[in-house]
Amino acid sequence: MRTSWAVAVLLAFAAITPLGGQRASVRGDLSAKCDKCADAAARARTAANEWLDQQAKYDDLQEQEKAAEADRAAVSARLTQLESDPKADPLEIQANQARLNELEKEIDQLSGRVMFALIDLVRDRDAYNDAIESLDACNATCVSSDVIPIAGDSTGEPDPPTYELNGYEPSFWMSSSNVAVSTLLQDKLADIGDPIVIPASALPVAQRWFNPLRLIEPTVQAATADVHIMLIDKGGSTGQTLVMSVLNMTGKPVRLGGQPFSIEPIKSQSQQQVAQAFSRLSKAAATRIDLKGYCLEFLKAPPGANTLYRLAPKAVQQKFAPMSKLLQSADRIEKANALHPDSNPAAYADSIKQWSLWSIEQKLNDRRFSDALVDYTKKHAQAAGMKWSPQSEAQIRAAAPNRWRDITSILRDAGMVAPQ
């Protein structure tokens, strides 16, 4: 079972969305509509069970806390009564005082456990919602025979052309400077992981070319005007926060290369206009891919849910190229099982990747990292309505040295040195 201090560090991964009174409630139909969605359905059922189990644990801890507080109130009232009675038995006063001290300690521990259980409950709720979204997206494609093979599958067909997203080879949607960028929100690194083959969209129902907002770079448009991408943020600063929709209207499969690339948030007043323009490109459903995203600027606010991004221009790609190299090093170290997770391994890896980027951007050393980790966790804990105590801070500081060790190993692999 995960230790409480490890659970507390989960708050450092991203802003935690308060539950707002919502209880775990899962829908009845979690089935796959075709064979290719069987894994997505299994993940949705697992996520549903984990959310329901965590709700039960959270409810039980809350009941224990309420019972302990009721006991404390009764003992405190009795102690007050005894202390005001000159004839009271000193041994009884001593026993009630000892019991009161025990209850104070028990309530303090239970309060921490309730906070940690709520963190896990929010995480499991978000994991369930993500799993449902992925299942629904997969089921929506079951009417088509198209598949999305992972690059390297043996199909007997020639390898499709590869497009690197940070190289500007295809005409990427929203790559133009004609769409204004928000300077108040964080830019991100999107990590596609392994290369992915995208099947062609259904050309008979596709509108071959549509550019109402002049969003495509003119210099790239002539090269290939038939691969379009839209990026939407699901909310949060770290981890699997992005959905990439791809319309491949070339008439043949294309492969998106697997490496990190920089993206920029579009200003809110342009969001609806861009989304409508993208939807008019084709009547065919776009291929949807979940991506991990990592914020690049510590002091800027993370984007809200449904924020649209564009692929950053070449100058920005070059500016953040060292960060891209750092993320590739982190991916290698994670795949080699060389990290030392103190909590959920996948969530821990996302946290280490994020803080590796911020450690360079903010010039953190071990002491400044520990302080930043505490401040960041405290801010998001309090924003979620959770209690914060000296014990909470001590738990985060106890976790910091191990995490800093993993961060510095990533920096070394990328040829970088942490500030002293």
The rounded distance, in Å, linking the Cα atoms of 202 and 194 is 25
Q: Do 195 and 162 form a contact (C-beta atoms < 8 A)?
A: yes
The rounded distance, in Å, linking the Cα atoms of 281 and 171 is 13
The rounded distance, in Å, linking the Cα atoms of 367 and 87 is 57
The rounded distance, in Å, linking the Cα atoms of 263 and 419 is 27
Q: Do 194 and 150 form a contact (C-beta atoms < 8 A)?
A: yes
Alpha-carbon torsion, ordered 24, 27, 30, 33, to 10 deg: -150
Sequence ranges of the domains in the chain: 4-140, 147-313, 320-420
**Which pLDDT value is given to residue 228?**
79
**Which pLDDT value is given to residue 15?**
32
**Which pLDDT value is given to residue 202?**
60
The rounded distance, in Å, linking the Cα atoms of 346 and 334 is 9
The per-residue pLDDT string of the chain (420 residues; one tens digit each, 9 = 90 and over) reads 333 333 333 333 333 334 444 566 777 778 888 777 888 888 888 888 888 888 888 889 889 989 999 999 999 999 899 889 888 898 989 999 999 999 988 988 888 788 778 888 888 888 888 888 888 877 776 644 333 333 344 445 567 777 677 665 444 444 444 577 888 888 888 888 778 888 877 654 444 444 545 544 443 333 345 677 888 998 776 778 898 888 887 778 888 877 888 888 888 877 877 787 777 766 667 888 888 899 988 988 878 888 888 888 788 888 888 999 999 999 999 999 999 998 888 889 999 999 999 999 999 999 999 999 999 989 888 887 888 888 889 989 999 999 999 999 999 999 998 777
**Which pLDDT value is given to residue 32?**
82
**Which pLDDT value is given to residue 209?**
45
At position 178, the amino acid (one-letter code) is N
**Which pLDDT value is given to residue 178?**
59
- pTM for this model (two decimals): 0.62
The rounded distance, in Å, linking the Cα atoms of 395 and 76 is 30
